[in-house]
Amino acid sequence: MNAPLIFLPGWCLGRGPLQAAVDAVHGQILDIPGYRNAPLISDFSSAVDDLAAQLPNGSILCGWSLGAQIAIAIAARHPEKVGKLVLVAGTTSFIQRDGWPHAMPSEMLTEFATGVAADIEAMLPRFVGGFNRGDARSKAVTRELLELADPRPSTATLLTGLNWLRDVDLQSEARHIKAPTLLIHGGADPLMPVGAAEALAALIPQARLEVFDHCAHAPFISRPDDFLARLLAFVNESTV
């Protein structure tokens, strides 16, 4: 594997939950805007361009959840930057839209954002526990994610991410992704339904979908050995 393998974390939890998987494959983590020392960028397109500028050409880009949505945009808008694409619990639209039923109702996200603005520490265990419903190891995975989570970013950063999840729809852009793409998705993911992964895989020209049964939103925690095996097999495949 000569190309760098770079991971984009998801909303709120930061690097911590991904760190063991990243270390196991000798990868790197690129913080999304507002996390750790990365300045907050409120505009989604500007954030995508900023992250793309930090990637070497031909990178293997792996995004989880919100990070997967950003990775889709980078691969579509900056194709020279992405040699291979890995989307973990990915979707083109986090909320339901015309032609995209595989998501939560917008009202549910609005209610959640209101709770985050009021008290993120109270909302976070409910959020993480909720997206692990249906996982065969739901309680253990929830506990591990909360223990591994980074210190919380600013409320402005959290609300910016939720605004992106409310506003961004990448259905048309996904069709233009040129990179070979692997989608890894939990078959029991209540946050990003498996229907979203199936529809996304159908949009991307060179995509394949791996569904982990009895697994929810964090397959790298719930099924770490399977996750690493699938990831490394894809990364090491020849594209010739």
Q: Which of 59, 138, 217, 222 is catalytic?
A: 217
Cα–Cα dist 206/215, whole Å: 24
203 within 8 A of 87, measured Cβ to Cβ: no
Residue 222 falls in the annotated catalytic set: no
Q: Which of 65, 93, 138, 222 is catalytic?
A: 65
Tokens 């719930």, residue located: 222
Residue 189 falls in the annotated catalytic set: yes
56 within 8 A of 153, measured Cβ to Cβ: no
Q: Which of 31, 59, 102, 189 is catalytic?
A: 189
Query: Where does residue 150 rank: exposed (0-12), middle (13-18), buried (19+ CB within 10 A)?
Result: middle
Query: Where does residue 4 rank: exposed (0-12), middle (13-18), buried (19+ CB within 10 A)?
Result: middle
Residue 167 falls in the annotated catalytic set: no
Give catalytic residues, as residue numbers: 65, 189, 217
